[in-house]
Structure 1
Amino acid sequence: MNRTTLSLIAGATALAAVTGFASLNAPAATGDSTARAAVQRPVERSRLLCPQPSTSDIADTAYTSFTPVTQGTSDGGKAELQPATEESADSPSGGKTGKKAPKPVVQPKAPGKPATGDSSGADGPALVGTAEGAFAPGWTVQETTEVAAGTGRGLLGTNCTAPDTEFWFPGASTADSRTDYVHLTNPDDSAAVVDVELYGKDGTLKSTVGDGITVQPHASEPLLLSTLTNAPQTDLTVHVTVRSGRVGAAVQALDDRTGGDWLGASTDPAGSLVLPGIPKDATAVRLVAFAPGDQDADLKVRLASPSGLITPAGNETLHVKSGMTTAIDLGDVTRGEAGSLVLTPTGSTPVPVVAALRVVRGKGDKQESAFIPATAPVAARATVADNSSRGTTLALSAPGRTARVKVTASAGSEGGTPATKTYTIKGGTTQDVDAPVPGGLKGTYALTVESVSGGPVYASRTLASTQEGVPGFTIQTLPDDRGTVAVPDAEQDLSVLLKS
């Protein structure tokens, strides 16, 4: 085989790696030169990163892994979550270093059934997860932590995230009552270099500490936000950008009075945003928004309620100055009904923004808080794990046209049979639906939401549990799982291998 042939094969291999790990089996030559549209194929490899769950000695953390069954996947494969360590089990040259690989915290046996693991105390590490083959499309992992007392006590939950190069977190804080960390986890074999920028009500907060942070290979770095700036700020937007490599990022927000939770990244900056699933018994809701460009944004603020879109009295619009974090209190905006916040431009020219909600339930010394970042729609399919027969609320919102969705409850982690229901969500509304529960449920289960017809649907799931009279809860949004990737339909043409 000559060098030209080898170079072409190497190029094709590199292309396959870049195009989302989809199946790239060459089709048989037909002689038909007609161009064909790309087809959706299941992804063949996924990575997820879970942050260190807690620094509390009395923390109890549960991990739940789930992959929905996907048609067209390759046979076999596996998924596992392992502790992040500063050294890979393999040396850069490909040989073993002699270091024993850590035991997986979670190792699923088959798609369609949740797998669980746990840790306790302050020693629970960040986790790096990899799924291949039939386990990869739509793979999701939930990290849920219970902390009975102390700063940030309550129920904390997060969907483990895919590595990326940019994240926006409106809703963070360095106020005296808050202890907020941004967790950076590097899944790769080389160091990542990261910048962390903070934006307050008056713009950028000057800091050199957040520039050029090195995150070692297979390691996690929690950064206390108050060490990055000298000025306490009630409302902050955290911007994480990666100069080299990639990381997973999440903000852990801990409050002395109202408990704590994980703040997930807002969806990419956009002119219109949806923040779904405000609990109907919320006693306080605070909206935090940021415009990253060079233009101010003027937004309509509306609530998609069970009966339609309504405008909160006194908060009809929101002006967001360029480069500055803006926040408004919406109070008990849902007034006992399910709701989702819908932000749209007031004019004809949309200005991209990011946003999140801080939600409080309870009163007095029995308050608990959680966050709802702006999220992408379900699109084809989305999944959330670690549900139980009690304390799970699924909120579905169709801010535009009426939509029809199918919701499937998986088998239980310890037993039970799947169940499915279909719902119609009227345009402009949000519904807390009576989600299906597996028959004969034992353990926990996953909920998978699939779009059937109509307009876009946005979704979130609330987990709730009461500890010593305090209403602990956590909210996770359900963006599309990106379980498939578009692959061009190509033909073999061996003539490209011939020298001219």
Structure 2
Amino acid sequence: MKRAPLTLAAAAAALAALTGMAALTAPDGTAATGAAPAAARRPVERSALVCPSPSGSDIAETAYTAVTPAGGARGVGGQGAARLVGATKEQKQVLELKEAGKPVGATASGAEAPALTGTADGALAPGWTAQQTTKVSVGQARGLLGLACTPPGTDFWFPGTATSQGRQDYVHLTNADDSPAVVDIELFGPEGRAKTEQGSGENIRVGPRSSVRVLLSTLTSEQLPDVTTHVTTRSGRVGASAQVMEDGVGADWLPASADPAGSLVLPGIPADATSVRLIAHAPGEEDADLRIKLAGPGGSISPAGSEQLHVKGGMTASLDLKDVTRGEPGSLVLTPADPGKSVPVVAAVRVVRGTGAKQELGFVPAAGPVGARATNADNRTDQGATTLSLTAVGTDAKVRVTASAGTQGGEPASQEYTVKAGTTMAAVPPPVPGGGGKGPYALTVETLSGGPVHAARTLSLPHEGILFFTVQPLTDDRGTVSVPEASQDLTVLDDDRNRTGRE
């Protein structure tokens, strides 16, 4: 027993000597000052994405495109790998990315195309992005259904779903992991949580590397035209997306809204929208009063007769904004009516282009800003097919937009834009690959100064007199993470000595 204090003291002294040596031989050649260095931004070294099963239609034609933006992996060793595989036991590979800055593509036909899961590591992880775009020519699901594949998570909000007659809305749940996930689905209408059969929507099991599709109208007997769907996991994590099919109007994916917040931006409402319907939900118990503004090319305006929306706590509210854009592209900006009272909400807009039998449906969810960099993987060189909307909130902003090479060659091309505060700029058309590039290409938006900037890409493909379209927001790709720098703390050794003495 008498030897123990001596041994611990000796160990402490040796550790102190080693710590001092580490300080003297720090990589940057400087001695430690005792102050902890600031956290540094480092490229991520692994990314995961999930894509839902694209369609239940036998005539569906789906294009997959994936890309990692060039120049985002400085300091990451190795070439890396990025693959998308079927979310099935066989895990059949669908596409493989081999080089940053050069997108790759694949196609699938019919109703048997599975959900996909994938990972990217090494130099191909920072900013890895994938997109699936599906065209269905006829039937209830006809239209252009586009979706950016998403990282798996545990909590998702989908304002804009429905359980009413004429709508078939599904939530797709895809498990990318090797262990099962257990999921709950809640529905919230204008009177609060929808009545469901006991146990309905609870404990939904999603097996390892598999996908489950849930028809929302089977969870409740209530016919609700405006519903907010909340997806949470009890265990594990999943990718979640909502698919909407509306009789006589069209179909599209509804991505999850940005996390609940007091102020939201819904970017990229097309200039020729004939119907715009806002759906919002306040997840907590407090009511939210929202001021509504449309940020257009000339500035921000309050839509006449639709300046505010009251959302009761725990309930879903909606507002028909009709043809609010009136021939000019815009983004909805929601802020607290009382700046001193900010209540978190989630929101999305249902957008219709065309009239009568030539209508087509799309959705624009509330979305986060571009941040340092954001990418959309699937854009087309056909004239007018791709348009990009840029909205500056708060201050003027300068951004760089880069078109990658196409999947069939070409060279990247860039252009810079200055977006005035409170306005939406429609970059028509955005840059396209140089050098005769062909095939789908990626668009990357980088914030150079000012901001924040919110962006969305609209893809429009005419079909037999109907303008099929889909809108995808571009949000921060989180290609970097904050990594704290380690520093020496010799007080730990002092504590060890004091504790040893007390023993």
> Is TM-score (shorter-chain normalized) higher than 0.5?
yes
Aligned 1:228-267 pairs, distance under 5 A:
228-267=219-258
Deviation at 1:293, TM superposition (A): 0.6
Whether 1:84 aligns to 2:87 is yes
Query: What is the match of residue 474 of structure 1?
Result: 470
Which residue pairs with 1:303 in the alignment?
294
Structure 1 residue aligned with 2:439: 443
Runs (5+) with no aligned partner, structure 2: 1-25
What residue number does 1:75 align with? 78
Letter matched to residue 132 of structure 1: D
Residues of 2 paired with 1:50 and 1:190: CA distance? 18
Quickly say closer, same or farther: Cα 1:28–1:245, change in 2 above 3 A.
Answer: farther
Q: Which amino acid aligns with 1:485?
A: V
CA distance in 2, matches of 1:371, 1:254: 12
Aligned residue type for 1:36 = P
Q: Which amino acid aligns with 2:398?
A: R
Residue among 369, 387, 396 paired with 1:393: 387
- Structure 1 residue 496, shift from structure 2 partner: 8.4
* Cα distance in 1 between the residues matched to 2:59 and 2:100: 33
Following the alignment from structure 2 to structure 1, what is the Cα–Cα distance between the partners of residues 66 and 152?
17
Secondary structure, counterpart of 2:97 in structure 1: coil
Residue type of the alignment partner of 1:203: G
1:462 aligns with 2:458: yes
CA distance in 2, matches of 1:323, 1:60: 39
Pick aligned residue for 2:425 from 421, 431, 436:
431
Q: Distance in 2 between matches of 1:49 and 1:254?
A: 21
The one-letter code of the counterpart of 2:363 is F
The answer on 1:48 being equivalent to 2:49 is yes
Name the counterpart of 1:374: 366
Q: How many residues align?
A: 461
- Measured on the aligned residues, the alpha-carbon RMSD in Å equals 1.7
Per-residue Cα deviation, 1:255-294 (whole angstroms, up to 9, x for no partner): 1111110000000000000001100000000000000011
SS of residue in 2 equivalent to 1:299: strand
User: Which amino acid is 1:407 matched to?
Assistant: V
Which of 110, 115, 118 is matched with 1:126 structurally? 115
Alignment of 1:164-313 (within 5 A): 164-207=153-196, 208-313=199-304
Instruction: Classify 1:349/1:495 alpha carbon distance in 2 versus 1 (closer, same or farther; 3 Å).
Output: closer
* Partner AA of 1:437 in structure 2: V
Match of 1:358 in 2: 350
Distance 1:27 1:266, change over 3 A: farther
| TM-score, structure 2 normalization | 0.89
| Aligned mates of 1:210, 1:31 — CA distance in 2 | 59
Q: Which residue of 2 aligns with 1:4?
A: none
- Deviation string, structure 1 residues 364-396 (Cα, Å, up to 9, x no partner): 000001000000011100000110112001000
Alignment partners' CA distance in 1, 2:228 and 2:456: 22
Distance (Å, rounded) in 1 between the aligned partners of 2:201 and 2:360: 30
Contact 1:29 1:491 in 2 (8 A): no
Q: 1:140-187 deviations in whole A, cap 9, x for unaligned?
A: 100000000001201000000100110000000111111100000111
Q: In structure 1, what is the equivalent of residue 101 of structure 2?
A: 112
- Work out the CA distance in 1 between the residues paired with 2:272 and 2:75: 43
Cα distance, 1:232 vs. partner? 1.1
Q: Structure 1, residues 323-345: CA drift from partner, whole Å, max 9, x if none?
A: 11101110110000010000000
Match of 1:143 among 132, 138, 158: 132
Q: Deviations over 1:420-450 (max 9, x none)?
A: 0000000110011131111112111100000
Cα distance in 1, alignment partners of residues 76 and 456 from structure 2: 27
Amino acid at match of 1:110: E
Counterpart code for 1:125: P
Does the 8 Å CA contact 2:36/2:487 hold for their aligned counterparts?
no
In the alignment, the residues of structure 2 paired with residue 29 and residue 493 of structure 1 have an alpha-carbon distance, to the nearest angstrom, of 19
Tell me, in whole angstroms, the C-alpha distance in 1 between the residues paired with 2:143 and 2:289: 36
Distance of 1:150 and 1:496 partners within structure 2: 69
Q: TM-score normalized by structure 1?
A: 0.90
> Within 5 A, what are the aligned runs for 1:158-169?
158-169=147-158
Cα distance change on mapping 1:492 and 1:410 into 2, 3 Å: farther
After TM superposition, give the deviation of residue 30 of structure 1 in Å.
5.6
Quote the offset at 1:124 in angstroms.
Answer: 0.3
Aligned to 1:183, what secondary structure does the other structure show? strand
Identity among equivalent positions (%) equals 60
In structure 1, distance between residues paired with 2:192 and 2:446? 40
What is residue 58 of structure 1 aligned with on the other side?
59
Q: Give the letter for the 1:475 counterpart.
A: V
Distance 1:241 1:272 in 2: 23
Other structure's SS at 1:134 match: helix
What is the CA-CA distance between 1:250 and the residue it aligns to? 0.2
In structure 2, relative to structure 1, the CA distance for the partners of 1:110 and 1:494 (3 Å cut) is farther
Give the AA of the match of 1:80.
Answer: R
Which residue identity is paired with 2:79? Answer: G
- Measured in 2, the distance between the counterparts of 1:175 and 1:39 equals 50
Summarize deviations over 1:195-220 as a string: whole Å, max 9, x none: 10000111101222101111111110
- Between Structure 1 and Structure 2, whose CA radius of gyration is higher? 2
Residue 455 (structure 1) shift: 1.9
Cα distance change on mapping 1:251 and 1:314 into 2, 3 Å: same
How far the C-alpha of 1:399 sits from its partner, in A, is 2.5
Residue 422 (str. 1) matches residue 413 (str. 2): no
Alignment check: 8 A CA contact 2:402 2:445 kept: yes
Shift of residue 73 of structure 1? 2.5
Which whole-Å CA distance do the structure 1 matches of 2:29 and 2:176 have between them?
A: 39
Paired letter, 2:149: C
Structure 2 residue corresponding to 1:411, chosen from 405, 409, 416: 405
After superposition, residues 21-32 of structure 1 pair within 5 angstroms as 31-32=31-32
Given the alignment, which residue of 313, 317, 323 partners 1:326?
317
Structure 2 CA distance, aligned partners of 1:239 and 1:326?
Answer: 15
Whether the aligned pair in 2 keeps the contact of 1:27 and 1:492 (CA below 8 Å) is no
SS at match of 1:314: coil
* SS of residue paired to 1:107: strand
Unaligned runs of 5+ in 1: 1-25, 88-100
Q: Distance in 2 between matches of 1:400 and 1:73?
A: 35
Taking the aligned partners of 1:103 and 1:161, their CA distance within structure 2 comes to 19
Shift of the alpha carbon at 1:34? 2.4
